[in-house]
Amino acid sequence: MLRASAVCEEAGIPTSTLVCEGFLGLAAAASQGQGVPNIPVAMVPGHTGVQSKEQLRENILGVTLGNVLNNLLEAPAEGKLEDEPSARDIVATGTLDEINEYFLTHNLSDGLPIIPPTDERVAAFLRYTDRKPDEVLGILLPDCRAATIWSIAVNGVMAGCRPEYMPVLVALIEAMSDPYYGNEHSGNTPGGETLILLNGPIAKELGFNYTQGVMRDGFQANTSIGRFWRLYLRNIAGFLPHGNDKATFGNTFRVVVPENEDVCAKLGWAPNSTDFGFKAGTNTITASRYTGGNHISSISGSTPEDLMPYIADSMQKLHSWHFLFTVGAECGGTLRPLMFLSPILAETFAAAGWNKQHIKQKLWEMARVPAWHMERVSRDWTQKPSWNLAYEVSMGRMPKVYHESDDPNRLVPIVWHADDYMIVVTGDLGRNSGYIFAHNGVLGYPTAREIKLPKNWKTLRASAAKPDSGSPTTKGKRKNGTSS
């Protein structure tokens, strides 16, 4: 609503945006990002979601209404936009400790030490792209800053990335800049955090871990690139804690997770990237936002029929309020759950002639909830205007499978189509486990981009030090009582 108010105010049309008490700081930060620092707001005391009708009426009439009238009848106080340094300004000099203290106190750091982005270090990153430093990939909400190649290099240095990661970083910000992804929702209430999936031979070339402990930090490529995403959200998009980032609890950044394409090739399975229109073997990233996940341990059985009941039961139980991304016209059909399948489980499915498509189809058939429950979540628990499945189907806003009868106990799928499920083979080669992520729907829709290498990539790589590989061939060594 603040974006609409900003347009109206700039056109000379008075506005008054209603804002709950706990979101006043967010409104002020968002107004700065819109370039209109004095957008008039009217406070609603407390939070409407936990107030009785009587309390809400008293608060609106006693507090909010007066603010609305004042905002519409009186010109807002003159606001001033905060000045920012230009892209090439040197903002701090000093020792490493002094530089880190500056970045921390000026909200340019995530609380961890950063690598100072000196001109020399930034230039090293720029060597790994054919794009011009000032090229703009998009304008990022909420602060409406330009996403440039230069700023990508700067934040890549800060995150501890290696220069040769630059092509991956550029592809990531192309995805972040795509309206399809919905970056403006990165600071919303559920605190969903982005997970970056990686496909293609670049996973091996740059030393990504794609086997045991694939979601752990500790591997430079996986960890630093995951951190880079969060730093870019802070420093360019403008998502700061207690500002535009209003996650209720939040999550830390997630490391990059590559698919094990060696296993996929052995089984004849298509990698995740092909679901987004890319040919197998193409270097790609896929960014999508998830509110949480759950490890599904010891998925035991020698046949798909043994394995699927446990998997499907876990899938449907992890999703609850997320049904608002299933029901209705506003954002129905945008739920994209993700499942990691360990290689040994993939091999068990493949031995019976199953591939990813078979698993997706069975998930669609088996991961279901009673129709009355999906309606209750939408109507009573998330208080959405779209909740009646029969009505939504009759209006052509949902597939017919959601109203095949009037039986309230009929089972309906949690996603519209089997292809809405995403399945990635990764993780420990010898464990029979899975991992399921609850998707944040249209508020972080899966978006993929090709990783485009510079023309002189081979020459650059030949001159770069080779990183430690996270592949299963890496041998751990012990030295002075510690593992390395």
pLDDT tens, 221-238? 999 999 999 999 999 999
Q: Is residue 242 part of a domain?
A: yes
Alpha-carbon Rg for the chain, nearest whole angstrom, is 25
Structure confidence at residue 474 (pLDDT): 43
Q: Is residue 93 part of a domain?
A: no
Q: Residue 47: which residues within 8 A CB-CB, separation 6 or more?
A: 20, 21, 22
Structure confidence at residue 480 (pLDDT): 38
pLDDT over 70 for what percent of the chain? 90
pLDDT tens digits for range 329-353: 778 999 999 999 999 999 999 999 9
Q: Is pLDDT at 472 greater than 80 in this prediction?
A: no
DSSP state of 278: P
Q: How confident is the model at residue 201 (pLDDT cuts 50, 70, 90)?
A: very high
- d(Cα 36, Cα 58) in Å, to the nearest integer? 31
Count how many domains the chain has: 2
Instruction: Return the structure tokens found at 185.
Output: 């929702």
127 and 206 both lie in a single domain:
yes
What is the span of the domain harbouring residue 21?
Answer: 2-73
123 and 69 both lie in a single domain:
no
Q: Is residue 270 part of a domain?
A: yes
Q: Is residue 221 part of a domain?
A: yes
Tell me how crowded residue 159 is: count the other CB atoms within 10 A of its CB: 25
443 and 326 both lie in a single domain:
yes
Q: Is residue 468 part of a domain?
A: no
Whether 412 contacts 405, CB under 8 Å: no
197 and 324 both lie in a single domain:
yes
Q: Is pLDDT at 247 greater than 70 in this prediction?
A: yes
193-199 vs 257-258, strand pairing mode: parallel
52 and 175 both lie in a single domain:
no
| Between residues 282 and 480, the one the model is more confident about | 282
Q: Is residue 479 part of a domain?
A: no
**Exposure letters 55-91 (e unless 16+ CB within 10 A, then b):** ebeebbeeebeebbeebeeeebeeeeeeeeeeeeeee
41 and 135 both lie in a single domain:
no
Structure confidence at residue 319 (pLDDT): 94
Q: Is this structure's pTM higher than 0.75?
A: yes
Q: Is pLDDT at 483 greater than 60 in this prediction?
A: no
- Residue 155, φ and ψ in degrees, nearest 5: -70, -30
- Quick check: helix, strand or coil at residue 366? helix
Tell me how crowded residue 397 is: count the other CB atoms within 10 A of its CB: 16
Q: How confident is the model at residue 83 (pLDDT cuts 50, 70, 90)?
A: confident
Q: Residue 166: which residues within 8 A CB-CB, separation 6 or more?
A: 125, 126, 128, 129, 152, 153, 156
